[in-house]
Chain A
């Protein structure tokens, strides 16, 4: 199975900050990576797919990049509603594994 690691596991930030989350895959997955946002008590919400394509309705302050084994999610001008946990998921090879998550909380 393809393993995903995320760093950092926790991140404290302020409204207006720019934050970057990294996801690394144990083997090359081309661009087949998605990013999700999850808030307590809710299902994950798709933000980015194909490593860099913004899902319809997602604000443009979210940006994804990378290919192969290293990917990043950048959130610019952090808004109060962005404080959540973020997961990456590889969709290159079954099983479609998820990363362990990065929690962004308010500093």
Chain B
């Protein structure tokens, strides 16, 4: 059974830092691109960042570029999000999500498994 379990969330002051983790199990972790997606209270999901299986391609949304860094440790089946210079607008539930598919016409991408989410609150 595929499982994704986030940890590391909590309350932090503006300008502070936090490191989120996502523990994966039940599948070959290194074979999948992994993502962080966040959802502010009462809002729709916002894709934050992704990293390919071998960490060759990493992409961050403009809203977090230069402040957040996605990374992974395939030996430990873990995904990370280092969040620095946090702002009040970063307050959200953060999900890790698995990408499946190869991005081609006959095998499009999709996010098929999601963690339960972890709340990050940025407030003074």
By a beta-carbon cutoff of 8 Å, the part of chain A in contact with chain B is 1, 30-32, 34, 36, 42-46, 49-50, 53, 55, 87, 89, 91, 94-101
Whether B117 pairs with A43 at a CB distance below 8 angstroms is: yes
Q: List 15 A-B contacts (CB under 8 A).
A: A1-B62, A31-B105, A42-B116, A43-B114, A43-B117, A44-B95, A45-B114, A49-B108, A49-B112, A53-B108, A87-B44, A89-B47, A91-B103, A94-B59, A96-B50
Known: A31-B105, A95-B61. A49 touches B110 (CB 8 A): yes
Assembled-state Cα–Cα distance A39/B97 (Å)? 17
Query: Shortest distance in angstroms between B47's beta carbon and chain A's nearest beta carbon?
Result: 5
Query: Shortest distance in angstroms between B86's beta carbon and chain A's nearest beta carbon?
Result: 20
Whether A43 pairs with B110 at a CB distance below 8 angstroms is: no
Whether B59 pairs with A98 at a CB distance below 8 angstroms is: no
Whether B44 pairs with A99 at a CB distance below 8 angstroms is: yes
Name the prevailing secondary structure of the A interface residues: loop
Assembled-state Cα–Cα distance A70/B61 (Å)? 24
Query: Shortest distance in angstroms between B25's beta carbon and chain A's nearest beta carbon?
Result: 16
Q: For A30, list chain B residues within 8 Å (CB).
A: 105
Assembled-state Cα–Cα distance A34/B44 (Å)? 14
Interface check B10, CB cutoff 8 A: no
Known: A49-B101, A94-B59, A95-B59. A34 touches B111 (CB 8 A): yes
Whether B47 pairs with A98 at a CB distance below 8 angstroms is: yes
Q: For A100, list chain B residues within 8 Å (CB).
A: 44
Interface check B27, CB cutoff 8 A: no
Q: For A46, list chain B residues within 8 Å (CB).
A: 110-112
Assembled-state Cα–Cα distance A74/B111 (Å)? 20
Assembled-state Cα–Cα distance A87/B37 (Å)? 13
Assembled-state Cα–Cα distance A50/B109 (Å)? 8
Q: Quick one: which of B81-121 are within 8 Å of A by CB?
A: 95, 97, 101, 103, 105, 108-112, 114-117
The 5 closest A-B pairs by CB, nearest first: A49-B110, A43-B114, A50-B108, A91-B109, A98-B45
Assembled-state Cα–Cα distance A32/B97 (Å)? 17
Q: Kindly supply a per-residue 1/0 record for chain B positions 33-65, scoring 1 wherever the CB is within 8 Å of any chain A CB and 0 otherwise.
A: 001000000001111001000000001011000
The closest CB in chain B to the CB of A87 belongs to B44
